[in-house]
């Protein structure tokens, strides 16, 4: 059984919580794209962890965690994450595998990310500043440096030299200080020592797991509308967020993914720039941000908040082939007298769809809302569907009807146990 968890909006839907919950029944947990622009929060008996690179399922002591080839790695962040988890009592021995094919986020990628954003001025994407775009662009233009290169110090230094000869010219031209080859080289030798025990080609493990009917949990990062092709370009991230990314990113044939769970926040949020049709600029938006503690796990930036957008989720479900969805943060809607759902969009009075245009087009659509009654009894911490107030059940039923996909889980709090299996 292979289950894929996909973020369905603009990230931060609560994927970490759902992956941690599902990991208790999994043999393998796999990250297959993105880098430490991801920030997945896990809250369980070990504490609270903002996870950036290590798969969230690692807390299941029996699981094997794989950072597959599609992930790009900032070794500084990876090493600190390993050390923090070790301090919290998590044992990695024979449980963490890092693909030698993973590309490295180099110091110049982070500087270039910042410089490109600055150069774009008001048109900037609002990236996390983690060097994601520049690293993936080097990957596809054959300028990347991989973990496998780092294993061969001589080759690594040669590649570093060539890249610095290009990157330092751009960096200097854009007004920043050129980087020193020796300093970077020596730093990376230290990282190599720390991660060396975990580097191993994971393909045979995955191949055997698929043959041996083991349970694999794939942890998607970001969200569908940040997908490089189908998101709100150029306000997107650099990787493929959609279901199809599992073959390139982890060597898993898409037809062997049995279950695809879209994680959907009970309202909508977005960090960074870009269109957001249901964004709220009033007290309701402020209330969602405050109650939902909507501040970025990676950058701490306040998240933009708005009502649930069924047009987006309908599209996300279709394009990914969701077998079910997990609704998160339903408890954040506790105390709202009325709650709105965007059922469709119009533009100049005509009904339009998400995919009809680009980011500029989307910033001009008008959401059509349906207003539902809120609930007075809190849903926070409820674990049984039958215990939900009737208005909360109606809200969930309306979502199911609008997005034409079955709700499989409802999360009613940030803790692992605050969940309803519908
Ligand atoms: P991810 O990137 O999709 O893993 O999501 P983040 O961890 O960045 O953001 C989700 C935030 O919501 C985290 O702070 C979680 O602890 C929290 N969270 C997850 N599920 C729930 C829930 O059902 N209710 C509440 N109140 N918080 C939740
Ligand atoms: P998780 O996995 C929220 C957004 C950034 C920015 C755009 C491009 O925690 O859901 P990048 O640094 O990737 O080049 O930034 O994408 N972004 C996210 N927003 N959650 C994430 O990950 C994100 N990953 C990228 O805010 O708008
Ligand atoms: Mg996040």
H or E element at residue 169? helix 153-173
Of ligand 1's listed atoms, the one at least distance from the Cα of 297 is 8
Q: Count other Cβ atoms within 10 Å, centred on residue 300.
A: 9
User: pLDDT tens-digit profile of 129-152?
Assistant: 999 999 999 999 999 999 999 999
Of ligand 2's listed atoms, the one at least distance from the Cα of 274 is 27
What whole-number distance in Å separates Cα of residue 59 and Cα of residue 92? 10
User: pLDDT tens-digit profile of 74-102?
Assistant: 999 999 999 999 999 999 889 999 999 99
Q: What ranges in 251-403 are assigned the alpha helix state H? A: 283-291, 310-320, 359-362, 390-403
pLDDT at 250 over 90: yes
pLDDT class of 420 with cuts at 50, 70, 90: very high
What value does the CA radius of gyration of the chain take, rounded to a whole number of Å?
22
Taking a C-beta distance cutoff of 8 angstroms, is the pair 192, 151 a contact? yes
Residue 317: name the closest of 253, 406, 391 by CA: 406
pLDDT class of 246 with cuts at 50, 70, 90: very high
Of ligand 1's listed atoms, the one at least distance from the Cα of 7 is 3
Separation of CA 328 and ligand 1 centre (Å)? 7
Stretch 259-277: mean pLDDT, rounded? 97
Q: What is the DSSP letter of 146?
A: B
CA angle 203, 206, 211 (to 5 degrees): 125
> 291 by DSSP, 3-state: which?
helix
Taking a C-beta distance cutoff of 8 angstroms, is the pair 328, 419 a contact? no
φ, ψ for residue 318, nearest 5 deg: -65, -50
pLDDT class of 32 with cuts at 50, 70, 90: very high
**Would you kindly state where each structural domain of the chain is located, as residue ranges?**
2-100+201-259, 103-195, 261-421
> 194 by DSSP, 3-state: which?
helix
CATH code of 261-421, in short, is 3.90.170.10
Residues 153-163 as b/e (b if ≥16 CB within 10 A, e otherwise) read eeebbebbeeb
**Could you tell me the CA-to-CA distances from 364 to 61, 223, 224, 347 in Å, in that order?**
49, 22, 20, 7
What whole-number distance in Å separates Cα of residue 105 and Cα of residue 110? 8
Whole-number percent of the chain with pLDDT over 70: 100
> Residue 50: its pLDDT value, please?
95
Taking a C-beta distance cutoff of 8 angstroms, is the pair 274, 235 a contact? yes
Residue 145: name the closest of 250, 74, 60, 243 by CA: 74
pLDDT at 298 over 90: no
- Residue in 221, 222, 224 to alter for ligand 2 test, most ligand atoms within 8 A of Cβ: 222
Q: Which residues surround ligand 3, an ion (CB under 5 A)?
A: 12, 39, 297
Domain 2-100+201-259 indexed as CATH 3.40.440.10? yes
Separation of CA 229 and ligand 2 centre (Å)? 15
> Residue 26: its pLDDT value, please?
97
Separation of CA 185 and ligand 2 centre (Å)? 29
**Could you tell me the CA-to-CA distances from 195 to 80, 103, 189 in Å, in that order?**
11, 14, 10
Of ligand 1's listed atoms, the one at least distance from the Cα of 332 is 26
Separation of CA 162 and ligand 3 centre (Å)? 34
Q: What is the DSSP letter of 357?
A: S
Q: Which ligand is nearest to the CA of 359?
A: 2
> Residue 284: its pLDDT value, please?
97
Plot region of 364 (φ>0 → left; ψ -120 to 50 → alpha; else → beta): alpha
Summary mean pLDDT of the chain: 97
- The token duo for 268 is 């909508």
**Could you tell me the CA-to-CA distances from 283 to 295, 335, 339 in Å, in that order?**
17, 13, 13
Residue 326: name the closest of 205, 202, 229, 420 by CA: 420
> Residue 237: its pLDDT value, please?
98
**Could you tell me the CA-to-CA distances from 171 to 37, 71, 145 in Å, in that order?**
22, 25, 18
Q: Which ligand is nearest to the CA of 231?
A: 2
pLDDT class of 299 with cuts at 50, 70, 90: confident
- The token duo for 104 is 């490295």
Question: Which residues carry out catalysis?
Answer: 12, 40
- Residue in 35, 131, 227, 272 to alter for ligand 2 test, most ligand atoms within 8 A of Cβ: 272
Separation of CA 132 and ligand 2 centre (Å)? 9
Domains 2-100+201-259 and 103-195 share a fold: no
Separation of CA 35 and ligand 2 centre (Å)? 10
pLDDT class of 205 with cuts at 50, 70, 90: very high
pLDDT class of 213 with cuts at 50, 70, 90: confident
Stretch 43-52: mean pLDDT, rounded? 93
Q: Which ligand is nearest to the CA of 10?
A: 2
Q: What share of the chain is helix, strand, coil (3-state, %, to 5)?
A: 40, 20, 40
Superfamily for domain range 103-195: Adenylosuccinate Synthetase, subunit A, domain 2 (1.10.300.10)
DSSP string covering 62-74, please? T-EEEE-TTBEE-
Residues contacting ligand 1 via CB (< 6 Å):
7, 11-17, 39-41, 43, 297, 328-329, 331-332, 411-414
> Residue 262: its pLDDT value, please?
98
Residue located nearest, by CA, to atom 19 of ligand 2: 11
- The token duo for 304 is 């933009």
Stretch 385-394: mean pLDDT, rounded? 98
Whole-number percent of the chain with pLDDT over 90: 97
Of ligand 1's listed atoms, the one at least distance from the Cα of 296 is 8
**Which residues, 6+ apart, have CB-to-CB distance to 290 below 8 Å?**
none
Instruction: Report the DSSP pairing between strands 28-31 and 64-67.
Output: parallel
């Amino acid at each position: 059984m292979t289950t894929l968890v996909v973020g369905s909006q603009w990230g931060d839907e609560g994927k970490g919580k759902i992956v941690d919950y599902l990991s208790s029944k999994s043999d393998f947990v796999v990250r297959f794209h993105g880098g430490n622009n991801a920030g997945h929060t896990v809250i369980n008996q070990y504490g609270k962890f903002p996870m950036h690179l290590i798969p969230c399922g690692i807390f299941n002591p029996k699981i094997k965690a794989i950072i597959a080839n599609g992930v790009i790695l900032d070794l500084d962040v990876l090493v600190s994450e390993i050390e923090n988890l070790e301090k919290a009592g998590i044992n990695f021995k024979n449980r963490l595998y890092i693909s030698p094919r993973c590309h490295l986020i180099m110091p110049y990628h982070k500087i270039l990310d910042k410089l490109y954003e600055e150069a774009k001025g008001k048109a900037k994407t609002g990236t996390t500043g983690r060097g994601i775009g520049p690293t993936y662009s080097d990957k596809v233009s054959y300028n990347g440096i991989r973990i496998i290169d780092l294993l061969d110090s001589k080759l690594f230094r040669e590649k570093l030299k060539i890249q610095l000869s290009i990157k330092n010219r751009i960096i200097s031209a854009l007004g920043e200080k050129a980087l020193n080859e020796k300093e970077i080289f020596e730093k990376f030798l230290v990282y190599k020592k720390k991660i060396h025990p975990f580097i191993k080609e994971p393909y045979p493990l995955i191949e055997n797991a698929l043959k041996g009917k083991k349970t694999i949990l794939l942890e998607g990062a970001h969200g569908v509308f940040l997908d490089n092709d189908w998101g709100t370009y150029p306000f997107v991230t650099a990787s493929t967020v959609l279901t199809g990314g599992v073959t390139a990113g982890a060597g898993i044939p898409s037809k062997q993914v049995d279950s695809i769970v879209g994680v959907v926040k009970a309202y909508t949020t977005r960090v960074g720039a870009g269109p957001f049709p249901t964004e709220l600029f009033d007290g309701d938006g402020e209330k969602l941000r405050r109650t939902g503690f909507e501040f970025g796990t990676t950058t701490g930036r306040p998240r933009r908040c708005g009502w649930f957008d069924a047009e987006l989720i309908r599209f996300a479900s279709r394009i990914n082939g969701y077998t079910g969805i997990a609704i998160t943060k339903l408890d954040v809607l506790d105390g709202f007298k009325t709650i709105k759902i965007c059922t469709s969009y119009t533009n100049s009075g005509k009904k339009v769809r998400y995919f009809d245009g680009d980011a500029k087009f989307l910033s001009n659509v008008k959401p059509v809302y349906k207003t539902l009654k809120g609930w007075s009894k809190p849903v926070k911490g409820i674990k049984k569907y039958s215990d939900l107030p009737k208005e909360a059940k109606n809200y969930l039923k309306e979502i199911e009807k609008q997005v034409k996909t079955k709700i499989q889980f409802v999360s009613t709090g940030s803790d692992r146990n605050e969940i309803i299996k519908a």
